[in-house]
Structure 1
């Protein structure tokens, strides 16, 4: 055991596997990131959009052998699977909900390289997230790995770290509300402008080439309330100027209108006008 390790069981996330002879070509036509940039050692953030360019879900895309693994919010997995199924047609592709066979673990430590490498040889997939590691493993390896950490923490703290890191996860309340640039995915490497067509690509490309998105992602803090996803944000005049993307432990990711918005007096509507303080000029 290593007393510096912190382990997280990431039950709020799930894995959808895309496999088959046409998996890469199929995914390339459905998501914002470039599938061909994803390897066994390199993952990517991305989004799957509807035809209007609104993100149905965001995800981390990883690869295991010839299979692609979409790590996405558990509450959106079934919706995403159904949407993707609509486009499979004659493609040699299989979509598999791996909720019962694969586990998602988070690790945060000064150094877990040697430890995690030993499990990667046994089929585990490792994704680096800043100073953290997200690991996908089968039930046996997950139980062994999880037992190594002295300090075990629930997924809520991991979600707070994602908020502070500007990682935009969607929920059923925020799905299909925002184009990817509003979620900062262009700055996070989750949008390829050279990969070719995909569902919603015309809107995403137009936003890039014709000017900046009208809204953007910010990290904020609220000392008196933890709002639900998609809660409205108002200015001093009571005008709605944004929405909450995610919130936990007083930290928030929020999508705000750009331009003349007075960011010094932001409040949560319906939460006793709880005040918000921006922690970043723009999440990045």
Structure 2
């Protein structure tokens, strides 16, 4: 995290429990402002950036513009997702918003394919900041924004802004003046879970094909764009029938289980895994045949019971 951005947040009553967990005094406002530190930005630039990315990711880069973003994944040759991301565009540059713990892994993997392409991969963690906004109406986001301020990713009653440090500080101050109140950064992760956004971690990277993460339902897979790394497996899964596992939203009254923790039934049979957990809400990947009747429990967490909040893949 950029030191100027961190010092600004500290001066505005932020408390850093860790590099990724930033908390503030409690708020009761329905207009909230989040400093997002568990995600980071990998910038892909150069005259061949779009062509290069098109051969490496599941979504279609031609669908992405200054006003249109896309979820997607980067896979290994076996079709397993190394990372998921939000893809946005700033000028001619492509911005991949992805878990910060996977950024260096992804950058290193992509660099293997650059070869002589006119492409530059840049870790923008120190130069670009991520701000989240929530409100009852997205009209509240519009009053303090121009294209020069940064890149906006609209998410219904939420908005994610990618901005350089100076613009991030300005936007934070302006939104605060409009009644937006600073909120615990991890609450943004809870909202992502409830929205079914399948962020990966080092523990879950290369464990699941994109359909198991519901990326097909979230518009993160193009079946017409042509070849990319892992495309054969992703396409085969689509054309031969749905994946055997899917993503569900669940609830559990226990400490947040670690990513990839096992989910079992009453007989101890493993039925799936935790993708992500925060504030008693979980994203879990389950065998689809077992979601109707199984008594789901968390293994190694005193067999804490799970309650599905979605009855089919979200």
Task: Give the TM interval when normalised to the shorter protein.
Answer: over 0.9
1:121 to partner: Cα distance: 2.9
Aligned-partner SS, 1:122:
helix
Partner in structure 1 of residue 47 of structure 2: 21
Match of 2:36 among 3, 7, 10: 10
The structure-2 alpha-carbon separation of the partners of 1:66 and 1:275, relative to structure 1 and needing over 3 Å to count, comes to same
**TM-score of the aligned structures, taking structure 2 as reference length:** 0.87
1:120 to partner: Cα distance: 2.9
Are the equivalent residues in 2 in contact too, given 1:263–1:278 (CA < 8 A)? no
Q: Which runs of 5+ in 1 are unaligned?
A: none
Aligned-partner SS, 2:73:
strand
Partner in structure 2 of residue 144 of structure 1: 170
Are the equivalent residues in 2 in contact too, given 1:266–1:275 (CA < 8 A)? yes
Partner in structure 2 of residue 199 of structure 1: 229
Aligned-partner SS, 1:237:
coil
Partner in structure 1 of residue 63 of structure 2: 37
Partner in structure 1 of residue 297 of structure 2: 267
Q: Alpha-carbon deviations, 1:132-191, whole Å to 9, x = none?
A: 000000101111212233411122101001101111000000000000000000000000
Match of 1:132 among 158, 180, 196: 158
Between the aligned partners of 2:288 and 2:129, the Cα distance in structure 1 is 39
The structure-2 alpha-carbon separation of the partners of 1:221 and 1:20, relative to structure 1 and needing over 3 Å to count, comes to same
**TM-score of the aligned structures, taking structure 1 as reference length:** 0.95
Are the equivalent residues in 1 in contact too, given 2:271–2:290 (CA < 8 A)? no
Partner in structure 2 of residue 94 of structure 1: 120
Match of 2:251 among 221, 237, 241: 221
Partner in structure 2 of residue 172 of structure 1: 202
1:282 to partner: Cα distance: 2.4
Are the equivalent residues in 2 in contact too, given 1:59–1:71 (CA < 8 A)? yes
Between the aligned partners of 1:233 and 1:114, the Cα distance in structure 2 is 40
Q: Alpha-carbon deviations, 1:11-49, whole Å to 9, x = none?
A: 000000001010000000000000000011000000000
Are the equivalent residues in 1 in contact too, given 2:59–2:70 (CA < 8 A)? yes
Partner in structure 1 of residue 20 of structure 2: none
- Deviating more after overlay: 259-268 vs 57-66: 259-268
Partner in structure 2 of residue 67 of structure 1: 93
Equivalenced residues, count: 282
Between the aligned partners of 1:245 and 1:45, the Cα distance in structure 2 is 17
Between the aligned partners of 1:178 and 1:218, the Cα distance in structure 2 is 14
1:248 to partner: Cα distance: 0.4
Between the aligned partners of 1:208 and 1:6, the Cα distance in structure 2 is 39
For the aligned residue pairs, the C-alpha RMSD in angstroms reads 1.5
Q: Alpha-carbon deviations, 1:189-238, whole Å to 9, x = none?
A: 00000000000000000000011101000000001332011000001110
Between the aligned partners of 2:48 and 2:33, the Cα distance in structure 1 is 36
Match of 1:104 among 112, 130, 133: 130
Between the aligned partners of 1:263 and 1:84, the Cα distance in structure 2 is 42
- Larger strand share, 1 or 2: 1
1:130 to partner: Cα distance: 2.4
Match of 1:120 among 146, 149, 152: 146
Between the aligned partners of 1:101 and 1:164, the Cα distance in structure 2 is 29
1:83 partnered with 2:119: no
Between the aligned partners of 1:153 and 1:133, the Cα distance in structure 2 is 14
Partner in structure 2 of residue 230 of structure 1: 260
Are the equivalent residues in 2 in contact too, given 1:219–1:282 (CA < 8 A)? no
Are the equivalent residues in 2 in contact too, given 1:120–1:126 (CA < 8 A)? no
Between the aligned partners of 1:162 and 1:106, the Cα distance in structure 2 is 11
